[in-house]
Amino acid sequence: MPGTAAVDLSCVWHNLEYMVCTWRPGENASSDTNYTLFYWFDGLKNRKKCNNYSVDQGIFECIFNLSFPKVINTYPAISILITDDSEEIRPLCANKNPTTLVKPATPRRVTLSKINDEVYIEWSESNTFPGNCLFYEVEYHNGDLDTAQIIKVGNNFTSIPSVDPNMKYVFKVRAKPKPECYSSKLSSDWSEEKSIGEKTDSTFYFVLIITVPLIVAVSMIILLVYLKRLKILILPPVPDPREILKRMFGEQNEDSQSCAKDDSVNTYDKLIKEEEIHSLILTETPEYVNSEKENR
């Protein structure tokens, strides 16, 4: 049936050890279609079947071991067939040049060392590639991603001269096939980042710039207040004679006025008391006289 064959076949030869092929089902293929991958090349007596299958989000993947003797200088083309047990699925046939599919393994065991103003970096080398068939890219930066630098080296070690001893440097490495050995444009994944040195924390300097002037300002205020109080204790202010005379005469006038007021009040109270006493005497005398007359 048309439209049932596998589409978008892609294969990668990882580290000259195993091949990973992926594809998508045809647009007219049923959802339960089970594809099977076969491969062969010159030197194999029979075609081989790939058994390591997986499906993720509608994408099929199959992994199979693939290696050639290291003594050979050329690699034979690989023929791939993707089909199904049923006759309803149209087969897909493809020929792949393995040298265009090579992807080296990620460099491992990256080590850094620093001597004076130079940083030495070294990493493990793949033992599946012939000698001098790989080159490496070393990327490093000093904490600013915009200024990352990449250098190319033919060995599994290199050095970076004239580095700032007060900066932190981050390194990572990846491998690429040499064009004279393979036609592949693929590179390995970047290695895990390794760092060396200590980057000065800008936050510390920012806090320091803000804190120091604040401490100085507070100290100056405290010092000025203390000196002002000390000056008052050592050199008390001289009183104004005019103010003293004004207070003295003001107090005397107030005392005299208060005394005159008190005398007038006391005199008035005495008069009232005397009137009350006299009125009482005048009132009680007639009653006493009348009582004596009645007794008689």
Consecutive 10-residue averages of pLDDT for the chain (296 residues): 86 95 89 88 88 90 87 82 82 92 94 88 90 92 76 91 83 94 93 80 61 79 71 63 66 53 52 48 45 43
Asked whether residue 42 is domain-assigned, the answer is yes
Phi/psi at 243 (nearest 5 deg)? -65, -40
136 neighbors 107 (Cβ within 8 angstroms): yes
Is there a domain that residue 150 lies in?
A: yes
CA distance 139 to 148: 7
Q: Is residue 1 part of a domain?
A: no
CATH number, position 67: 2.60.40.10
How many structural domains are present in the chain?
Answer: 4
Domain match, 228 and 180 both: no
Q: Would you state the pLDDT for residue 294?
A: 44
Domain annotation covers residue 15: yes
Whether residues 123 and 143 share a domain: the answer is yes
Domain for residue 159, yes or no?
A: yes
> Does residue 170 share a domain with residue 119?
yes
Domain carrying residue 209: 205-237
The pLDDT value given to residue 96: 93
Token pair recorded at residue 168: 């932190």
Instruction: Please give the Cα distance from 106 to 191 (Å, whole number).
Output: 6
- Give exposure, 7-20, as e/b (b: 16+ Cβ within 10 Å): eebebebbbbeebb
| Closest C-alpha among 42, 206, 185 to residue 101 | 185
What's the Cα-to-Cα distance from 242 to each of 39, 52, 173, 253, rounded to whole Å? 121, 113, 92, 17
First to last CA, the chain: 166
- Distance in angstroms (rounded) separating the CA atoms of residues 121 and 191: 13
How many residues are present in the chain?
296
Q: In what order do the strands lie in the sheet with 78-83?
A: 48-49, 36-41, 78-83, 92-96
- Looking at 102, 133, 155, the residue that finishes a domain is 102
Greatest pairwise CA separation for the chain in angstroms: 178
Q: What pLDDT score was predicted for residue 138? A: 95
What residues contact residue 162 under an 8 Å CB cut-off, 6+ apart?
117, 118
Asked if residue 294 and residue 253 are part of one domain, the reply reads yes
131 and 67 in a common domain: no
Give the pLDDT of residue 173. 96
- Domain boundary among the residues 77, 102, 127 is at 102
